[in-house]
Chain A
Amino acid sequence: MAITEAREPPAQRRRRRLRLDLSTPTLLGLPLAWLAAFFLVPIGIVAAYSFNLYSLDPGTHHFTLAGWHDFLHGSVYLSLFWKSVKMSLIVSATIVVLAYPLAYFLALSGTRRKYVLLLLLIAPFLTSYLLRVLAWKVILGNNGVINSFLFWTGLRSPDHPLSQLLYSKFAVMLVLGYIWLPFVALPIFVSLESLDRRLLEAATDLGASRLQAFVKITLPLSLPGVFAAFLFVFIPTLGEFVTPSLVGGTGGYMYGNQIVDLFVAGFPDWQTGSVLALFLLGVVAVLTVVFSRFLGARTAVR
Chain B
Amino acid sequence: MDVALSRTGAWVLRIFFALVVLFLYAPIVILVIFSFNDSAFPSFPLSGFTWRWYHQFLVNGELRAALETSAIVAAFSSVGAVLLGILASIALVRRRFHGKSPVSALLLSPLVIPYVVFGISLLLFFHAVGIPRTVLTVVIGHVVITLPYTILVLMPRLQQIDVSLEEAAYDLGASRLRTFRSITLPLLLPAVVSAFLIAFTTSFDEYAVASFVVGSRLTFPIYLYSALRFPNQLPQVIAVAVVVITISLVVVVGAELGRRLAERRLGAEG
Contact = CB atoms under 8 A, between A and B. Distances in A.
Interface in B32-53: 34, 41-45
A21 B178 CA distance: 11
B44 A131 contact: no
Contact of A288 (B95, B112, B205, B228): B112
B76 interface: no
Contact of A130 (B14, B95, B225): B225
Contacts of A39: 109-110, 118, 121, 144
Contacts, number: 267
B180 A143 contact: no
Interface in A257-302: 259-260, 263, 270, 273-274, 277-278, 280-281, 284-285, 288
B147 interface: yes
Contacts of B241: 128, 131, 134-135
Interface in A83-139: 98, 101-102, 104-106, 108-110, 115, 117, 119-121, 123-124, 126-132, 134-139
A22 interface: yes
Contact of A124 (B28, B113, B164): B28
A30 B94 contact: no
A126 B114 contact: no
Task: Name the residue in A21, A24, A131 with the highest tally of chain B Cβ atoms < 10 Å from its Cβ.
Answer: A131
Contact of B124 (A45, A115, A121, A288): A45
B163 A15 contact: yes
A18 B27 contact: no
B65 interface: no
A62 interface: no
B249 A277 contact: no
The binding surface of chain A is classed by DSSP as helix
Nearest to A200: B3
A70 interface: no
Given A30-B84, A31-B107, A277 B116 contact: yes
Given A210-B6, A260-B116, A101 B176 contact: no
Nearest to A107: B4
A182 B21 CA distance: 9
Contacts of B113: 281, 284
B20 A34 contact: no
Contacts of A54: 124, 128
Contacts of B107: 31-32, 35
Interface residues of A, number: 98
21 contacts: A12-B163, A14-B167, A18-B166, A30-B84, A31-B147, A32-B107, A34-B84, A34-B143, A38-B140, A39-B118, A42-B124, A102-B20, A104-B13, A108-B5, A132-B27, A145-B30, A182-B24, A259-B117, A260-B120, A263-B123, A281-B117
Interface of B: 1-6, 9-10, 13-14, 16-17, 20-21, 23-25, 27-28, 30-31, 34, 41-45, 83-85, 87-88, 90-91, 94-97, 103, 106-107, 109-110, 112-118, 120-125, 128, 140-141, 143-144, 147, 163-164, 166-167, 170, 175-177, 180, 201, 205, 207-208, 212, 221, 224-225, 228, 234, 237-238, 241, 244-245, 248-249, 252-253, 256, 260
